[in-house]
A and B are shown apart, each in its own frame.
Chain A
Amino acid sequence: MNARAIARQERRRHRRGIRGVSIIAVLAALASILIVFAVGFASFREFAASQHAREDLIYSSTIRADLQFIYEEILTAESAARGFVITGEPEFLPPLQETRASILQKIQQVAAFAVERPEHTALLAALARLTDEEMRLLQAMVEARTKLGAYAATVLQVRRGKEIMDQIAATVQSVSDAEIAAIAARTREVRIVGQRTKQTLITLLAAAIAVVAASTLIVIAHLIGRRRAEQALGDTLSRHRAILASAMDSIITVNAAGCIETANPATSRLLGWTPEELVDRHLGLLFQIPEGTSEPEFLATLDAAARDGGEVRELVGLRKDGTTVPVDVAIGEMRSSDGHALVAVLHDITERKRAEVMKNEFVSTVSHELRTPLTSIAGSLGLLAGGATGPLPEAAQRLVTIASQNSRRLVRLINDILDIEKMQSSSVTFAREPLVLAEVAQRALDQTSGFALEHGVTLSLDVGPGDTGVIGDGDRLIQVLTNLISNAVKFSPAGSAVEVSVARRERTVRVSVRDHGTGIPESFRPAMFTRFAQADNSDTRQRGGTGLGLAIAKEIVDRHGGTLAFETELDVGTVFHLDLPAGDGSHPLPTMAPASPPAAPVRPADPPPASPPPAPASASVPARAAADVLLVEDDLDSAAVLSALLSQAGLSLHVAGSAAAAAAHARGTAYKAILVDLVLPDGDGISLIRTLRQAHATETVPLMVVSARARGGALAPGEAEALQILDWLEKPVAPAHLLNALDPVIWRDGRAGRPAVLHLEQDATVREQVLQMLAPTVDLCSAADLAQARAALSERDFDAVILDLAPPSGAGLALLPHLRRHDGEKMPLVIISPRDGDPELARQVKALLSTSHVSLDLLAATVLRLVAPKTEG
């Protein structure tokens, strides 16, 4: 993992930490605000209570002071009255007069002021009344002194005055006492409120301290936790770094956009790129994109594989220096906070590949070395047993026959051992092509019909309804079925039947092979598919098998993702079931070419499925154009191979052995295409291509590279396009690939240049096979009967005609008089005849092939040779 990824992870962790602390801070702030509000409220309440108490105290003091003042005024008035009574002096009278008025006014003021003390109302009223009474008594005393003398006045004062004064003093004292009590009560209230406020404030303060302490503790705990997490992360990163650094395999992480995020040091060792150079580069940079796939498609398949639980696939890695390295790539999915990503582990398999090559070479060599002496042994014995050296004594003849048969068995054994070894080492690549299993079964039946006949066993095929399409290797599946059928035949009593049936099941297609033999002994059943397993040793000799057939068949079926099983009953028979996953139409089967109605799905034959479809039978008469190709190649063998291939396709060829010769050729001749090998004695092919592209005569000529080097290793990205390199054919060149690549170039003016061939054949399967075989290079018109053939001949000339004289097509000879071109020249004729070496027929035809020896390859090669020289002439 690099620094960038670590930093990103660290930032994410940091952000998460900040978020946590922020939440705590906000909560603490909210709690603090609440506490402040609560403190404010409590303080305000305390202040209000004190204020109220203070006001009440002043109020109370005012009342008491006023009452004291009134009482003193009354005493003043009494003193004045008494002074007058005693002295008779008139100067005592004015103060008495003044005091009386002011006292009564003051009492009214106090009563008004003390309105908030309703409990005083009655006392103050009594005080007013007593004061009034006292004042009147004093007035009466003054009048009595004046009129009756001092004694009378004194009597009045003594009788009534003292009593009134005592009542006034008591009333004033009552009000004063009530005020004192009220103030005391108020003071108590204020104290209680004060205490409550104090408690509240203490509580709030404690809460504030608690909040601060708690938030502080939380933050500290968070910081400590974060620190520990960082340490743990650091430790993990160190471990991962150490693992990545010491890993032998290249480990790469790729983001959802297909860009490399990280790469470990092993990547440098494997591919030459430093991890820093690879960051943000596209993954496609590191691999040779498989042929026929675009980079986005390639990445999409990797992505799909990763999402599907991961897989290991073999790819070709591209080094920085342009060289390639075979790698096993384990692809897995990685889920992160950034989304979906890929992890690719690249394991260098150069050594394994080398070992595989060595093993293949060893297998091939062993095969050769074993077969060479066997050739002599089997050949000698065959000649002796066949009577080539004259008749042998009977006993010798029997022994020689045994030896001859066993030498042949040894050959089969070697072949089977090599076959199973190759399959189990996965060095055999199986084709994956759409097949109709019913057709495969029919071909297997055809191949074993002779063997069944020898054993007096009849074969039958029953095809059920439904699509019997599968994906697989046709030849290998035929191998499986011929093995099952020949086994069934071997273990069937003469006169019995072996029944083959093909049936579509829900998700599979099943082929069943049933015999009516003795069944398989119970003890042997578990070992049926193991090597060298036959019910008893004598079986091998008696039945002529190698003991490997079913093991090979099982291996082939396993490699197809299918199953091979059997049911058996002693003295009743055995049935083998081959189940293969149904093709399910997800791989559309190719349809027949228009020349061979009715259209039916067929297995493409050896030419690749990408072969261009042949032109309709009604195409115009071909007028061949000269199609010259320049091949720049210094290796004579390679040149010979390509020359043979091209001449088969009817193309003339110039070979230049050096870059200089190529340039000279190109100046003098207008070629339709140029093929360039990259390794030349006087320079490299890419430089030659650049030179050719700069020359006026060759700047636009279609040009292809034929090289043992891979495309990615030789060219900078985009250079192939810049140099207009149409195709890159890797050696050894597949014939079909070369012809397909050349096809649009050479015949770009339409199909006019392709040779036309008429094929009369009643067997639809054979027609289809021949059509598939020849379609890439010739316009094949397939005729199912004489009428169709005559109709085709009336429309156009043909460069060759193929007639099958084997029954039931034997009537084809009737066409012979019609096989002349419009210019009177005979059309070259290829006849497939059951009569070997018929001299009469041989005179009339270009090629006479024996029904017993002809093969599709042989027929195709013959036809191609027939039509090819025409183009050169």
Chain B
Amino acid sequence: MTLRVLYVDDEPDIREIVALSLSLDPDLAAETAASGAKALERAAAGGLDLILLDVMMPDMDGPTTLARLRADPATHAIPVAFVTARTQAHEVEHFRTLGAVGVVAKPFDPMTLAQDVRALHALAGA
């Protein structure tokens, strides 16, 4: 079954690299969004299995986007993971307590990113 993953980041370069990395796995269908607002729009449209959120984004940051997703009955069940350079131990712990299924550290290994995404999805679906 193809996993539909939405990657949200304001950095177009990184969006492109993530999309390319995820496309290495034929069972992953990756989409990207450039802001939290666009992510909310896309999530509300349905069909997503996992959302990967950058933390530091202008206007609406990752944690806010997550809170909004959780507040909306249409999106509250979609598992969310953060992809961030903020990887100090207390920061990671904080993201977990916000309800993220996991944290992928930036810079990530593009060759194994798809594998990490699958693991996160497995964790979320448990």
Residues of A within 8 A of B71 (CB): 636, 640
For B17, B70, B101, B118, which residue has the most chain A Cβ atoms within 10 angstroms? B17
Chain A's closest residue to B15 (CB) is A376
Contact A375 B96 (CB under 8 A): no
Chain B CB within 8 A of A173 CB? no
Report the bound CA distance from A203 to B69 in whole Å.
Answer: 116
Beyond A380-B17, A637-B98, is A375–B85 a contact (Cβ under 8 Å)? yes
Per-residue CB contact flags for chain B residues 107-122 toward chain A (1 = under 8 Å, else 0) read 1111100011011001
Q: Are A372 and B85 in contact (CB under 8 A)?
A: yes
> Which chain B residues (27-74) contact chain A, with CB distance < 8 Å?
56, 63-64, 66-67, 70-71
Given A364-B86, A372-B85, A636-B71, the answer on whether A407 and B107 have CB atoms closer than 8 Å is: yes
Cβ-neighbour of B13 out of A368, A371, A376, A837 (below 8 A): A376
> Smallest distance from the beta carbon of B64 to chain A beta carbons, Å?
8
A372 lies within 8 A of B99 (CB): no
- Which of the residues B21, B84, B96, B119 comes within 8 Å of A388, measured between beta carbons? B21
**Nearest chain A CB to B31's CB is how many angstroms away?**
18
Given A364-B88, A637-B67, A858-B102, A374:B123 Cβ within 8 A: no
Question: What is the predominant secondary structure among interface residues of chain B facing chain A?
Answer: helix
Chain A 707-740 residues near chain B, CB threshold 8 A = 732, 735
Minimum distance in angstroms from B16 CB to a CB of chain A? 8
Contact between A640 and B99, CB atoms less than 8 A apart: yes
> Given the complex, which residues of A lie within 8 Å of B126, measured CB to CB?
830, 846-849, 862, 865-866
CB contacts (< 8 Å) of B13 on chain A: these are 376, 380
Any chain B CB within 8 A of the CB of A604? Answer: no
Is the CB–CB distance between A853 and B116 below 8 Å? Answer: yes
Per-residue CB proximity of A517-530 to B under 8 Å, as 1/0? 00000000000000
What B residues does A857 contact at CB under 8 A?
96
* B111 x A383 contact (CB < 8 A): yes
Q: Is A641 an interface residue (CB 8 A)?
A: yes
Docked-complex contact A861 and B107, CB < 8 angstroms: no
Residue of B with least CB distance to A866: B126
Collect the chain A residues with CB atoms within 8 Å of residue B20's CB: 383, 388-389
Q: What mask results when residues 66 to 109 of chain B are scored 1 for a CB within 8 Å of chain A, else 0?
A: 11001100000000000011101001001011110110001111
Size category of the B interface is: 35 or more
Given A849-B122, A853-B116, is A378 in contact with B107 using a C-beta cutoff of 8 Å?
yes
Complex Cα–Cα for A862 and B126 (A): 6
Question: Would A379 and B123 count as touching, CB distance under 8 A?
Answer: no
Question: CB-CB < 8 A to B21: which residues of A?
Answer: 379, 383, 388
Residues of A with C-beta under 8 A to B85: 367-368, 370-372, 375
Asked if A382 and B116 make an inter-chain contact with CB atoms under 8 angstroms apart, the answer reads: no
- Most chain-A Cβ atoms within 10 A of its Cβ — which of B13, B64, B97, B99? B97
B111 contacts A388, C-beta separation under 8 Å: yes
Contacting pair A382 B67 (CB below 8 A): no
A-side interface size class = 35 or more
Knowing A367-B86, A379-B110 touch, does A372 contact B14 (C-beta < 8 A)? yes
Most buried by A among B110, B115, B126: B126
Q: Are A375 and B97 interface neighbours, CB within 8 A?
A: no
Chain A interface, DSSP helix/strand/loop, else mixed: helix
Given the complex of chains A and B, what is the CA–CA distance between A586 and B66 in angstroms? 46
- Assembled-state Cα–Cα distance A382/B109 (Å): 7
Contact in complex: A376, B123 (CB < 8 Å):
no
Given A378-B107, A379-B108, A382-B111, A372 contacting B11 (CB threshold 8 A): yes
Q: Does A456 contact B (CB under 8 A)?
A: no
List A370-400 residues whose CB lies under 8 Å from chain B. Answer: 370-372, 374-380, 382-383, 386, 388-389
Does A850 reach chain B (CB closer than 8 Å)? yes
The smallest C-beta distance from B82 to any residue of chain A, in angstroms, reads 13
Contact: A371 with B122, CB < 8 Å? no
- Least Cβ distance of B57 to chain A in Å? 11
Q: Mark A829-840, 1 if CB is under 8 A from B, else 0.
A: 010000001000
On chain B, the residues within 8 Å of A411 by CB distance are: 107
- Rounded to whole angstroms, the CA-CA distance of A388 and B109 in the bound complex is 12
Within 527-545 of A, Cβ neighbours of B (below 8 Å) are at none
Contact across chains for A861 and B96 when beta carbons are under 8 A apart: yes
Closest Cβ of chain A to B81, distance in Å, is 11
- Please tell me if A793 contacts chain B, counting CB pairs below 8 Å: no
Residue numbers in A under 8 Å from B17 (CB-CB): 375-376, 379-380, 383
Q: Which of A384-443 contact B (CB under 8 A)?
A: 386, 388-389, 407-408, 411
Nearest CB on A from B90, distance (A): 9
A130 within 8 A of partner (CB) = no
Pick from A364, A636, A837, A847: contact of B118, CB below 8 A. A837
Chain A residues whose CB sits within 8 angstroms of the CB of B122 once the complex forms:
847-850
Other CB < 8 Å A-B pairs besides A380-B17, A388-B110, 4 of them?
A372-B11, A372-B106, A377-B107, A637-B64
26 A-B residue pairs with Cβ-Cβ distance under 8 Å, sorted by A, are A368-B86, A370-B85, A371-B106, A372-B106, A374-B106, A375-B11, A375-B85, A378-B107, A388-B111, A636-B67, A636-B71, A637-B64, A637-B67, A640-B70, A641-B97, A644-B99, A830-B126, A847-B126, A849-B119, A850-B119, A850-B122, A853-B119, A857-B96, A858-B119, A865-B126, A866-B126
Which 9 A-B pairs have CB atoms at the shortest separation, nearest pair first?
Answer: A847-B126, A371-B85, A379-B17, A376-B13, A386-B111, A382-B110, A378-B107, A375-B107, A853-B119
